């Protein structure tokens, strides 16, 4: 672990630098596969599923029988846990519904804003060692509340042509309309263009490896929206002497076990806290099944000692962490002052894993500093806001002259004319 003692402000950007990712070579691969999917549809999708996932099943659409089978395979205990998480996620995202905003800006000029669902959305769920059924909850629950009519889910099959039962169970439970056993670049390409079997969608959500990340980026060039740019997961903890070092260490480690490229940072004003957390990390690390992965992430992690809370806050805002834990006697100072973070966890009994699974907040969050610009996934991610206006004769009389003058000044005579004709009619 790298310990950094009172760094001067001009070194912050270097200290907080994330590893840069180069995608140039992957982009060519993605574009090639996209082109083939555009031309050959399902045939191309099956070719790459066979090539990359080793599954040669022709039925890429998950059947009712498969869902029933999966439902049998998920334990009662896990089903109950999923129910608790689902209820909390549902409550928090349901509360995000917004009313129509309506205002008469000038007498006779009525403007309103309404949110309507994105009709067709695609959810991508990675395969691999960790079956991320929790991500299905985080995406399908708000999509369903938003009222999206088509909710497509793609996830890669294993060599036996199967998707993890918990993923199928949760997808079915949360209103996914179609599930496809397709992963990687070919899944993103299929949802971008549509094939004979897989519907085209308007926006694609969900995490993935570097191939999926680049494929989502390329999809935007074809007019498809994406949830956000993706990067390795991150956690920054601010802890003072009121924190519990073993808790802080366990949070840093739960981030570290995600992958060797996970970003793990501790910021503190107290050197004793720093030393205690470091000691706890090594104590807990050796007992973890994913210790090999976590150790590599921990090796690159940073423990930063700063002089005071204001400097800590400034440094954290410059970094813009995906997850930000506050264990401080002055938590209000950090809550009020944090400008750039995906999700914030407050107090000793609020581990990051609560938000990852069951508190109700979403775990699909901006990484790589994009918390400076992007929201995490929320109800609005599945909707777009539209504006409406209705103007009476009185209304156009009130603002018509101003429109004419401005249109004229911009050299747009036909814009002016559209008003002039109406004003004449009223007189």
Q: Which is nearer to a second copy, 155 or 362 (CB)?
A: 362
Q: Which is nearer to a second copy, 4 or 244 (CB)?
A: 244
CB of 66 to a second copy, least distance (A): 19
Q: Which is nearer to a second copy, 195 or 362 (CB)?
A: 362
50 is in an annotated binding site: no
186 is in an annotated binding site: yes
CB of 420 to a second copy, least distance (A): 8
Q: Map residue 407 onto helix, strand or coil.
A: helix
- The Cα 51–Cα 29 span in angstroms is 14
Beta-strand pair 302-305/263-268: parallel
209 is in an annotated binding site: yes
Q: Which residues pair with 109 in a beta bridge?
A: 106, 391
Residues found in the chain: 427
Question: Catalytic pick from 323, 352, 363, 404?
Answer: 323
Q: Which is nearer to a second copy, 57 or 375 (CB)?
A: 375
90 is in an annotated binding site: no
For residue 369, give the nearest of 94, 13, 69, 93 by alpha carbon. 13
CB of 422 to a second copy, least distance (A): 6
- The Cα 389–Cα 410 span in angstroms is 23
CB of 312 to a second copy, least distance (A): 18
Question: Catalytic pick from 257, 280, 309, 322?
Answer: 322
For residue 326, give the nearest of 250, 258, 263, 268 by alpha carbon. 268
Burial (CB < 10 A; 0-12, 13-18, 19+), residue 263, is buried
Q: Map residue 5 onto helix, strand or coil.
A: strand
240 is in an annotated binding site: no
Q: Map residue 352 onto helix, strand or coil.
A: helix
CB of 182 to a second copy, least distance (A): 21
Q: Which is nearer to a second copy, 16 or 338 (CB)?
A: 338
Provide long-range contacts, Cβ within 8 A and 24+ apart, for 72-80. Answer: 73/165, 73/169, 74/165, 74/166, 74/169, 78/166, 79/169
255 is in an annotated binding site: yes
Q: Which is nearer to a second copy, 208 or 395 (CB)?
A: 395
- The Cα 262–Cα 246 span in angstroms is 20
CB of 56 to a second copy, least distance (A): 27
93 is in an annotated binding site: no
210 is in an annotated binding site: no
CB of 5 to a second copy, least distance (A): 27
The 10 Å Cβ neighbour count of residue 144 is 18
322 is catalytic: yes
Q: Which is nearer to a second copy, 60 or 338 (CB)?
A: 338
- The Cα 280–Cα 288 span in angstroms is 13
Per-residue DSSP letter, 19: P
Q: How far apart are the first and last CA of the chain?
A: 78
- CA 276 to each of CA 241, 281, 286: distance values in angstroms, whole numbers, following the listed order: 10, 9, 17
For residue 221, give the nearest of 22, 38, 20 by alpha carbon. 38
The 10 Å CB-count burial string (b at 16+, else e) for 59-94 is: ebebeeebbeebeeebeeeeeeebeebbebbbebbe
| Binding-site residue set | 124, 186, 209, 233, 255, 258, 323, 356, 410, 415
| Binding-site residue set for substrate | 233, 255, 258, 323, 356, 410, 415
Catalytic residue positions? 322-323
| Binding-site residue set for Zn(2+) | 255, 258, 356, 415
| Binding-site residue set for NAD(+) | 124, 186, 209
């Amino acid at each position: 672990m790298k310990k950094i003692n009172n760094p001067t402000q001009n070194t912050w950007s270097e200290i907080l630098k994330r590893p840069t990712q180069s995608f140039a070579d992957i982009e060519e691969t993605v574009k090639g596969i996209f082109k083939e999917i555009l031309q050959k549809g399902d045939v191309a999708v099956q070719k790459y599923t066979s090539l990359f996932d080793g599954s040669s099943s022709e039925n890429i659409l998950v059947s009712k029988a498969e869902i029933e089978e999966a439902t049998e395979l998920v334990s009662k205990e896990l089903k109950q846990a999923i129910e608790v998480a689902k209820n909390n996620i549902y409550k928090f995202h349901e509360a995000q519904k917004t009313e129509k905003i309506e205002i008469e800006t000038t007498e006779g000029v009525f403007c309103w804003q309404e949110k309507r669902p994105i009709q067709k959305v695609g959810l991508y769920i990675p395969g691999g060692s960790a079956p991320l059924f929790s991500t299905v909850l985080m995406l399908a629950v708000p999509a369903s509340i938003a009222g999206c009519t088509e909710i497509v889910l793609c996830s890669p099959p294993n060599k036996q042509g199967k998707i993890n039962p918990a993923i199928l169970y949760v997808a079915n439970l949360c209103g996914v309309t179609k599930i496809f056993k397709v992963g990687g670049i070919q899944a993103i390409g299929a949802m971008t263009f549509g094939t004979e079997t897989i519907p085209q969608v308007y926006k694609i959500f969900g995490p993935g490896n570097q191939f999926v990340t680049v494929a989502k980026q390329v999809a935007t060039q074809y007019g498809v929206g994406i949830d956000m740019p993706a990067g390795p997961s991150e956690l920054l903890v601010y802890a003072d002497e009121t924190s519990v070092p073993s808790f802080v260490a366990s949070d840093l480690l739960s981030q570290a076990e995600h992958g060797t490229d996970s970003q793990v940072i501790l910021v503190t004003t107290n050197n004793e806290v720093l030393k205690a957390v470091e000691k706890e990390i090594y104590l807990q690390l050796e007992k973890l099944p994913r210790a090999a992965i976590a150790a590599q992430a921990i090796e690159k992690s940073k423990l930063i000692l700063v002089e005071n809370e204001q400097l800590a806050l400034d440094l954290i805002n410059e970094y813009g962490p995906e997850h930000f834990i506050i264990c401080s006697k002055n938590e209000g100072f950090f809550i009020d002052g944090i400008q750039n973070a995906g999700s914030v966890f407050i107090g000793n009994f609020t581990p990051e894993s609560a938000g990852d699974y069951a508190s109700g907040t979403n775990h699909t969050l901006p990484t790589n500093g994009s918390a400076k610009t992007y929201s995490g996934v929320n109800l609005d991610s599945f909707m777009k806001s539209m504006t409406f206006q209705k103007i009476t004769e009185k209304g156009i009389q009130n603002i018509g002259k101003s429109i004419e003058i401005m249109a004229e000044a911009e050299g747009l005579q036909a814009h002016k004319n559209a008003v002039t004709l109406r004003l004449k009619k009223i007189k």
